[in-house]
Structure 1
Amino acid sequence: MGEASTEKPAGTASLPAPLRRERAIILMLLLVLAAVSWLVLLRWRPGVGGEEMMGPTMGLGPLLFLAVWGVMMIAMMFPTAAPMILMFTRVQAAKRKQGQTFVPTWVFVAGYLIIWIAFGILIYGVALAAERAMQGSAWLSMNAARAGGALIVAAGLYQLSPLKRSCLAHCRTPLHFVLTRWRDGYQGALEMGLRHGLYCLGCCWLLFAILLPLGLMNVGLMALITLLIFAEKSLPISPHARVAAAAALIAYGAIVLVFPGALPTAMAM
């Protein structure tokens, strides 16, 4: 990616009332989009109506799977990414007020979503490969739940890893990200969105991967993961939430390794 701008971004001071209203509108749009996405997920339950829908891909083709994945990302990640998106909006609003070239917020958000959609493509590929492997091997089919347990344990261990802590540090400090990673122009805004999306992915990728064995459309679990990500990124209890989640995931994953029937989707594997 290109060199960071050496000019300190405008907008780190207090904004006048019109620009504060603009930030409020952006926040409202983010929350409305997230709320609508949650309603879609609650009303559209592909797991109902056939065991074939209970596998990792839910019986969906790639385009429909990615559409569902995109709705999930808007529902789960927009609220947790709001502080960074609002910081970007604040800087760009101040640049516009000063008569400088500015970039609309959607460009930054597009970069962020590109990362998560790309991860969705990877998730679909893994899910499809897992389904085909289980269909072709009785041993894999019998031990699929234990593999899911191992993945859950791995997610718990990752919560304690240096990489998780490093990515989380970037996600918890939007102002520091703006001051150290700022890039001007449309391309720069897209690059910033991609970079922040990578940090966010580094924080959360295994929390989303465990949806494969636990049920991709498990709305209750999605809500719990969203609350955990919000606590990790935005609340003072972040270290405690991260460690508590690690302990819970490791303990539950170990139980599944010993008692595979403890996995909700075990009967469908």
Structure 2
Amino acid sequence: MPLTLQRNVILALLIAAAAVAWWALLTWQQTGMDPGMRMDSPTMGMTAALFLAVWLIMMIAMMFPAAAPMILTFHQVQSGKRGRGQAFVSTWVFVAGYMLVWTATGVLAFAGAAGAEMLAGRAGLSAATAARIGGALLMVAGAYQLSPLKDLCLAKCRSPIGFILTSWRDGRLGAVRMGLRHGLFCLGCCWLLFAALFPLGIMNVAAMAVVTLLVFAEKTFPYGERIAKVSGVALLLYGTVVLVFPQVLPTFQPTDAMMPMDTMIMN
């Protein structure tokens, strides 16, 4: 199979996987979610296994389009090695290493969300205070978008050839290590953007779509670095507004709306 056709097939599979993941998320949100799930809760009341499953589907939906240039570059290099009679490693080994990073991140995200829920329950935070904490997290995410560490990780993600030249490893284990390394750079670019989804709503489709487009634009558009800076300023401004007016946060729920119905009737 010619290399161009191989690349087109891989790209089509990545796009199809992302599309199926988006379809699954939308379908589950509309028809499969437990009515008892709370959108204002970091874990939404999900078990660890369900949270991790949803998280991985989200990562496929949101990250595969942005990771496609690196994945295609890896395949191109491997195809060249095969053409020269050298050992060939399947591109999906690299993808598996990449997804291991996001799997581990999902475990940590659930642990952090569950811990935050426990602390908030013990502290008895009001809806306004919880929303203001979310606003502060949005501001932290915005500040990170403007930081040198963000610039470093983004530079690595925006240059697939540069990554190949500096991080190449032979063999299957080497491909896994490369996938892990590239996944860590992607995580360094995006982790606080994903953390911002918690105050915005972990299943807020509009917020997920904005983050997906932002990540894709940062990594692939000619002025991706500037886009990251603009988004950082926007997050800082929005977080500041939430501190003053907590009700503008999508997950904000007045105290009365969070009370059980029978309690509200009695009152």
Q: Which residue of 2 aligns with 1:208?
A: 194
Question: Match for 2:73 among 60, 66, 87?
Answer: 87
8 Å contact from structure 2 (residues 39, 201) kept in 1: no
Aligned to 1:199: 185
Give per-residue Cα distances to partners, 1:106-140, cap 9 Å, x unaligned: 11111111111111111101111111122222236
| Contact residue 78 and residue 89 of structure 2 kept, 8 A | yes
SS in 2 for 1:226: helix
Distance 2:125 2:61 in 1: 37
Q: Quick one: which amino acid aligns to residue 151 of structure 1? A: L
- Between the aligned partners of 2:110 and 2:126, the Cα distance in structure 1 is 19
Q: Which amino acid aligns with 1:61?
A: T
**2:25 corresponds to:** 41
Runs of 4+ more than 4 Å apart: none
1:4-63, Cα deviation, whole Å (9 max, x unpaired): xxxxxxxxxxxxx71211111111100000000011111111667235354111111111
Number of equivalences:
253
SS of the residue 1:266 aligns to: coil
Q: Is residue 34–residue 74 contact of structure 1 (8 Å, CA) maintained in 2?
A: yes
Aligned match of 1:267: 253
**Per-residue deviation, residues 121-168 of structure 1 (Å, max 9, x unmatched):** 111011111111222222366521111000000000000000000000
Percent of pairs with identical residues: 56
In structure 1, how many angstroms separate the alpha carbons of the residues matched to 2:141 and 2:33? Answer: 24
Aligned to 1:147: 133
2:99 matched to which residue of 1?
113
Partner Cα distance (1:117, 1:141) in 2:
31
Q: Select 2:228's aligned residue among 242, 245, 263.
A: 242
Q: 1:74 and 2:60 equivalent?
A: yes
Given that 1:134 and 1:141 are in contact with CA atoms closer than 8 Å, whether structure 2 keeps it comes out as no
Q: How far apart, CA to CA, are the structure 1 residues paired with 2:157 and 2:236? A: 24
Please give the alpha-carbon distance, in whole angstroms, between the structure 2 residues aligned to 1:67 and 1:139.
29
Match for 1:177: what amino acid? F
Q: How does 1:211-230 map to 2 (within 5 A)?
A: 211-230=197-216
Contact 1:108 1:192 in 2 (8 A): yes
Given that 1:31 and 1:79 are in contact with CA atoms closer than 8 Å, whether structure 2 keeps it comes out as yes
Is 2:162 the partner of 1:170? Answer: no
SS state at 2:253 partner: helix
Q: 2:84 aligns with which of 98, 107, 110?
A: 98
- Structure 1 window deviating more from structure 2 (130-139 vs 229-238): it is 130-139
Provide closer, same or farther for how the CA distance between residues 161 and 196 of structure 1 changes in structure 2, counting only shifts above 3 A: same
> TM-score normalized by structure 2?
0.91
CA distance in 1, matches of 2:231, 2:14: 26
Check conservation: 1:135, 1:141, Cα contact below 8 A.
Answer: no
RMSD value, Cα: 1.6
Q: Residue 142 of structure 2 contacts residue 234 of structure 2 at CA under 8 Å; is this kept in 1?
A: yes
Is the CA contact (8 Å cut-off) linking 1:77 and 1:226 kept in structure 2? yes
Where in structure 2 are the equivalents of 1:129-148 lying within 5 Å?
129-139=115-125, 143-148=129-134
Counterpart residue type for residue 6 of structure 2: E
- The runs of 5 or more residues in structure 2 that have no matched partner are 259-267
Q: What residue ranges of structure 1 are gaps of 5+ in the alignment?
A: 1-16
The letter for the 2-side match of 1:207 is: L
Q: What TM-score comes out, normalization by structure 1 length?
A: 0.90
Preserved contact between residue 134 and residue 140 of structure 1 (Cα < 8 Å): no
- Local SS of the residue matching 1:139: coil
